[in-house]
């Protein structure tokens, strides 16, 4: 036993000695390691001086790493990494450290010559430039200056950092103004990155590059991440970049002038995220996109893609987000997409997709967002959508869906906060849940044109609504008093337009919605005074009702007001003069067709006015045009017709370079029109109506030299737009951000072909001059022939003499010409036969002589176009012309006939070769022209309001 005990004691002592030796070795190694990693004094001092060059703004971040730089060994400081053998500082990570101040090339930072990693992200370097001395840190492999408020040109010296594997300059820009702080222009993108061939991560989003994407990037085979979002890129995107063997994340979105196509994919790709949003990528999605089987996020929103959605997308089973909204995709939703069971967002809105909503969508049970709005979908809404219990957003509005739809089915989706059903042919049924639901809270509700006959009762319990559209229904009676207390702190848009509402039940003196931006009660039968909104209001539309009373001066305090439309009511009184001193944000003021009297306020009395359109026509206003209008530098339309204004011609408005419409019809304007004083007077004018006034003297022919917009023929293609004031209203919601496009189209009432016609919209190609019913005298100048883009010219009921100028035959776009009720003489020029689009022609009650031109458009004009000219002869008049009165056809007529004959032979040949249908279409195109420059009584359809989330 003693021997055994002795052995145990010896063994125990041996183990203890070994443990002690091991502890000694570990401690020695640790001590030696610390000694080896002890930083160099000059680097410690450099770091301290670098720190001391900044103010530490503790309010800018949660915690600053430099506040604990206290020990003598800088290798132990937070954010510092040292080489274990040499002790040199090789890593400096001061991201989110509350640093505020500038960096220049003399900074001690650049004496840290062994740095391999430098991260200064999320600080504020006071808009200083990235110093050129950055190129001295030639050992850098990682550089992150994102969100750091650097400014100016990225230095060329950055190209010396040839060992870089990661470069991040992301988000040096102002999120509110979208101003980009950094530039890569001179030197340009290609020059700076050409030597950085080891890059694996290149992040330059929101740097102003303003160039093409250089082809040399196709040689950067190590790239895994390439983020060039919002860089002002243009030109064709090199499609070989899609084939980079290691690329996992590619984002070139928000480069509006960047074009490209998705190539064919011949082999599998590691691409995980692909974002092309807001570019000009076009063409169809290739079927071979199925090779991108690692893809989880695919965003191609707001591009120019077209064609059907390929069924092969259904093989990308890892997809979680598929966003193809705002393109030109057609066809139906492929059934293969039901395989994408990991989808959380499916966004196919604003395309041309047809067919029914597939019931199998109800199997994609983890969907949180389904957006199919603005398509051509038809049929009923499938009940299976109620199985998507994780949905937060469902938008199927603006389609051709039909049938009865029970609103109750959506109350079971507890997380659903955005529901868009409007602008379909649905009949919404309000079931029992409508009255009983109290817990379900919506943020966004579009129930427009859902055949509702009353306000849904469940709205009474909504406290978080921010967007509510009940327009274009059949709701009658008064707006209930409980409505004024619905979501008082959150509501930003309310529309009840185009209903049968008659009044307001216990309306508060000032509406309680403190954040309301858009308020639309237009096109109802409302009686009573104008509801007064909070100062937050941006668009206020109470047009087309029966409202009475005056405009409250409180409207002058609405500092964000962009558009005020009170037209077509029974309002009266004096227009508050304070409107002229109110916010410079006011762009549209429409008070048309009321009973306002007094004078027009002195608008644009403040500098920086944004006023674009004023329409006070059809009132009882008196006095003169306010001279302050000359300060409205953005003004595009002035419509003051049918009032009692008494003033001379406002030549002082000629300096408004944006002015397109000037309508002074039926007032008391008087006197001769002076010659223009400046070369650019009224240079952008497209519509001029001075009719039914008391102007005298010669026609304002000298202005023709300046009316440039009436001289150039503008193509009437897809690019033509309507004359309007546009902006976007954006509301900051609890769940995200929505925007509403606000478009106030200019409306006019003008004489077209002898009939007073009101138009709700005017295309920007339309040009029109009406100087009729005045006392102009003298001759019609040949200069009118220079207005080649003119569509309508009315000089009737004046005292004009002389001949009709043959130069009017140059007005190739002219559709209406009225020279009646004057003292014109001579022949009707044969050149007018060249006006192939002329559909209304009136020269009656003049002293014209000779034969009426025959053929072409003249064959459709009846006697009334020529009455009151005893010396005229020829068809359609009963008086025939003798041989001595016949005029030989112009040489141009002969050439025209030959030209037309050649065209018709081309059409016949086309029909013979390609089939009768093609020939007919070509001939029909040549022989008919539908005037498209006016759209009469255009449906407002909420002015394009989509309620998009951004």
Band (37; pLDDT cuts 50, 70, 90): low
Nearest Cα residue to 208 out of 190, 188, 232: 232
Segment 349-363, tens digit of pLDDT = 999 999 999 999 999
> Band of the pLDDT at 440, cuts 50, 70, 90?
confident
**Mean per-residue pLDDT over the chain, rounded:** 87
Instruction: Please say whether the beta carbons of 899 and 834 come within 8 A.
Output: no
pLDDT reading at 118 higher than 80: yes
* Predicted pLDDT at 679: 77
Unique residue bearing structure tokens 């992150």: 144
Determine the average pLDDT of the residues in 936-950: 40
Instruction: Name the pLDDT band for 801 (thresholds 50, 70, 90).
Output: very high
Helix (H) or strand (E) holding 80: strand 80-82
Q: Mean of the pLDDT values across residues 98-107?
A: 95
Q: What is the pLDDT of residues 295-332, one digit of tens each?
A: 999 999 999 999 999 999 999 999 999 999 999 999 99
Q: What percent of the chain has pLDDT over 90?
A: 74
pLDDT surpassing 90 at residue 485: yes
52-90 pLDDT tens trace: 999 998 887 888 999 989 889 999 999 999 999 999 999
- State how beta strands 661-663 and 687-689 pair: parallel
**Residue closest to 857 by CA, chosen among 877, 837, 829:** 837
**The two structure tokens encoding residue 469:** 């559209």
Mean per-residue pLDDT for 912-931? 31
Is the sign of the CA dihedral 361, 365, 367, 368 positive or negative? positive
Ramachandran angles phi, psi of 353, nearest 5°: -75, 135
- Grouping H, G, I as helix, E, B as strand and the rest as coil, residue 761 is strand
User: Which pLDDT score, from 0 to 100, does residue 248 have?
Assistant: 98
What is the per-residue DSSP string for 335-394? GGGGG-TT-SEEE--SSEEEEPPPGGGGG-TT-SEEE--SSEEEEPPPGGGGG-TT-SEE
**CA–CA separation, 285 vs 310, rounded Å?**
7
pTM: 0.83
- pLDDT score of 834 more than 60: yes
Distances (CA, A) of 497 to 446, 523, 617, 802: 13, 6, 23, 54
148-192 tens-digit pLDDT = 999 999 999 999 999 999 999 998 888 878 889 999 999 999 999
Tokens of 722: 């309507």
Q: Is 312 left (phi over 0), alpha (psi -120 to 50) or beta?
A: alpha
- Over range 554-562, report the average pLDDT: 91
From 598-612, 783-797, 825-839, the region with the lowest mean pLDDT:
598-612
Q: What are 429's two structure tokens?
A: 């049924």
Q: Domain residue spans in the chain?
A: 54-175, 519-891, 892-927
More confident residue, 763 or 614: 614
Looking at per-residue confidence, does 521 or 579 come out higher? 521
For CA atoms 304, 309, 310, 316, give the dihedral sign. positive
CA distance 151 to 180: 8
- Written as six digits, the tokens of 800 are 């004009």
Residue the block writes with tokens 């080896």: 36
Q: What is the DSSP string of 774-810?
A: SEEEEEPPGGGGG-TT--EEE--SSEEESBPPGGGGG
Task: Give the integer Cα–Cα distance in Å for 767 and 759.
Answer: 14
Angle between helices 891-914 and 916-927 (to 10 degrees): 150
DSSP state of 602: -
What was the pLDDT predicted at 916? 28
pLDDT at 7 over 70: no
Of residues 421, 420, 386, the one with CA closest to residue 402: 421
Number of H helices, E strands in the chain: 7, 64
For residue 250, count other CB atoms closer than 10 A to its CB.
22
Segment 27-43 mean pLDDT? 60
What per-residue confidence (pLDDT) applies to 876?
Answer: 92
728 pLDDT tier (thresholds 50, 70, 90): low
Q: What is the pLDDT of residues 239-267, one digit of tens each?
A: 999 999 999 999 999 999 999 999 999 99
Q: Which of 2-6, 333-337, 662-666, 868-872 has the lowest mean pLDDT?
A: 2-6
Model confidence pLDDT, tens digit, residues 523-533: 999 999 999 99
Q: Quick one: 519-891 is in which CATH superfamily?
A: Ribonuclease Inhibitor (3.80.10.10)
pLDDT digits (tens, 9 = 90+) for 265-296: 999 999 999 999 999 999 999 999 999 999 99
pLDDT score, position 363: 97
**Closest listed residue to residue 499, CA positions, set 470, 521, 531, 475:** 475
Query: From CA 623, how far away is CA 648, in angstroms rounded?
Result: 11
Q: Which of 825, 625, 638, 783 is nearest to 698 (CA)?
A: 783
Percent of the chain with pLDDT over 70: 86
Rounded CA separation 125/100 (Å)? 6
Residue 884 pLDDT > 80, yes or no? Answer: no
Helix (H) or strand (E) holding 893: helix 891-914
Mean pLDDT across 195-221: 97
| pLDDT in the model for residue 269 | 94
Average pLDDT over residues 778-798: 95
* DSSP code of residue 210: -
> What pLDDT was estimated at residue 193?
96
- Checking if the pLDDT of 896 tops 90, the result is no
Sign of CA dihedral 454, 383, 351, 344: positive
Strand partners, 202: 167, 226
What is Dmax (Cα atoms) for the chain? 159
Whether the per-residue pLDDT at 735 is higher than 60: the answer is no
Q: How confident is the model at residue 487 (pLDDT cuts 50, 70, 90)?
A: very high
> Which CATH superfamily does the domain covering 54-175 fall into?
Ribonuclease Inhibitor (3.80.10.10)
């Amino acid at each position: 036993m003693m021997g055994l005990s002795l052995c145990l004691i010896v063994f125990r002592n041996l183990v203890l000695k070994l443990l002690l030796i091991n502890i000694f070795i570990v401690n020695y190694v640790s001590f030696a390691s610390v000694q080896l990693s002890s930083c160099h004094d000059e680097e410690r001092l450099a770091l301290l001086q670098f720190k001391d060059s900044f103010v530490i703004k503790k309010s800018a971040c949660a915690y600053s790493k430099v506040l604990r730089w206290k020990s003598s060994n800088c290798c132990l400081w937070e954010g510092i990494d040292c080489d274990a053998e040499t002790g040199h500082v090789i890593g400096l990570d001061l991201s989110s450290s509350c640093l505020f101040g500038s960096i220049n090339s003399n900074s001690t930072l650049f004496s840290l010559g062994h740095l391999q990693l430098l991260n200064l992200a999320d600080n504020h370097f006071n808009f200083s430039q990235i110093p050129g001395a950055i190129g001295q840190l030639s050992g850098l492999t990682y550089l992150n200056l994102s969100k750091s408020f650097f400014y100016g040109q990225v230095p060329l010296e950055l190209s010396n950092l040839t060992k870089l594997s990661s470069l991040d300059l992301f988000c040096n820009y102002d999120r509110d103004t979208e101003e980009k702080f950094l530039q890569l222009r001179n030197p340009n993108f290609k020059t700076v990155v050409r030597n950085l061939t080891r890059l694996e991560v290149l992040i330059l989003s929101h740097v102003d590059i303003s160039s093409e994407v250089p082809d040399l990037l196709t040689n950067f085979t190590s790239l895994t991440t390439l983020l060039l979002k919002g860089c002002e890129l243009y030109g064709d995107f090199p499609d070989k970049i899609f084939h980079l063997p290691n690329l996992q994340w590619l984002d070139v979105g928000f480069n509006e002038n960047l074009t490209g196509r998705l190539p064919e994919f011949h082999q599998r790709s590691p691409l995980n995220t692909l974002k092309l949003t807001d570019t000009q990528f076009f063409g169809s999605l290739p079927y071979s996109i199925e090779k991108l089987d690692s893809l989880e996020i695919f965003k191609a929103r707001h591009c120019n893609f077209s064609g059907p959605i390929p069924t092969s997308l259904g093989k990308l089973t890892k997809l979680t987000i598929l966003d193809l909204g705002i393109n030109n995709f057609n066809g139906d939703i492929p059934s293969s997409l039901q395989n994408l069971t990991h989808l959380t967002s499916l966004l196919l809105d604003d395309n041309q997709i047809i067919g029914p909503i597939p019931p199998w969508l109800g199997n994609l049970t983890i969907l949180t967002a389904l957006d199919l709005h603005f398509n051509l979908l038809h049929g009923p809404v499938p009940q299976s959508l109620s199985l998507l219990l994780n949905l937060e957003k469902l938008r199927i509005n603006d389609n051709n869906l039909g049938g009865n739809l029970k609103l109750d089915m959506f109350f079971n989706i507890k997380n659903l906060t955005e529901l868009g059903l409007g602008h379909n042919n649905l009949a919404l049924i309000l079931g029992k849940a409508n009255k009983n639901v109290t817990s379900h809270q919506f943020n966004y509700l579009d129930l427009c044109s859902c055949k509702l006959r009353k306000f849904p009762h469940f709205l009474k319990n909504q406290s978080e609504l921010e967007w509510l559209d009940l327009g274009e229904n059949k709701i009658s009676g008064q707006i209930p008093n409980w409505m004024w207390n619905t979501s008082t702190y959150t509501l930003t848009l309310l529309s009840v337009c185009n209903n049968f509402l008659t009044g307001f039940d216990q309306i508060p003196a000032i509406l309680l919605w403190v954040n309301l931006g858009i308020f639309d009660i237009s096109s109802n039968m409302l009686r009573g005074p104008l509801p007064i909104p909070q100062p937050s209001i941006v668009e206020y539309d109470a047009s087309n009702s029966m409202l009475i009373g005056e405009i409250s001066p409180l409207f002058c305090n609405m500092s964000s007001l962009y558009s005020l439309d009170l037209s077509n009511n029974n309002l009266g009184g004096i227009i508050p003069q304070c409107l002229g001193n109110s916010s410079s944000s006011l762009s549209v003021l429409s008070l048309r067709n009321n009973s306002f009297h007094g004078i027009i306020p002195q608008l644009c009395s403040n500098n920086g006015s944004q006023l674009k359109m004023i329409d006070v026509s059809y009132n009882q206003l008196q006095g003169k045009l306010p001279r302050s209008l000359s300060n409205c530098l953005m003004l595009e339309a002035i419509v003051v017709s049918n009032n009692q204004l008494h003033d001379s011609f406002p030549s002082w408005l000629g300096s408004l370079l944006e002015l397109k419409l000037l309508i002074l019809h039926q007032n008391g304007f008087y006197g001769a029109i002076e010659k223009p004083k400046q070369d650019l007077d009224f240079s952008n004018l497209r519509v001029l109506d001075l009719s039914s006034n008391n102007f005298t003297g010669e026609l304002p022919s000298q202005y023709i030299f300046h009316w440039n917009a009436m001289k150039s023929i503008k193509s009437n293609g897809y690019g033509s737009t309507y004359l309007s004031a546009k902006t976007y209203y954006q509301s900051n919601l609890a769940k995200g951000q929505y925007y509403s496009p606000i478009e106030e189209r200019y409306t006019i009432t003008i004489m077209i072909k002898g009939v007073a016609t009101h138009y709700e919209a005017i295309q920007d190609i339309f040009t029109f001059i009406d100087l009729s019913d005045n006392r102009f005298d003298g001759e019609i100048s040949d200069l009118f022939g220079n207005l080649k883009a003119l569509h309508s010219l009315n000089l009737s009921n004046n005292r004009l003499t002389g001949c009709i100028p043959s130069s009017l035959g140059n007005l190739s776009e002219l559709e209406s010409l009225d020279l009646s009720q004057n003292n014109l003489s001579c022949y009707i020029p044969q050149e007018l036969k060249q006006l192939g689009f002329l559909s209304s022609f009136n020269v009656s009650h003049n002293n014209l002589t000779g034969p009426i031109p025959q053929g072409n458009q003249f064959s459709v004009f009846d006697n009334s176009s020529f009455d009151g000219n005893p010396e005229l002869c020829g068809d359609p008049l009963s008086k025939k012309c003798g041989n001595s009165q016949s005029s030989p056809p112009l040489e141009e007529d002969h050439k025209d006939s030959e030209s037309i004959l050649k065209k018709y032979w081309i059409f016949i040949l086309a029909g013979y070769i390609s089939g009768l249908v093609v020939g007919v279409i070509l001939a029909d195109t040549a022989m008919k022209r539908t005037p498209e420059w006016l759209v009469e009584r255009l449906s407002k359809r909420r002015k394009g309001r989509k309620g998009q989330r951004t």
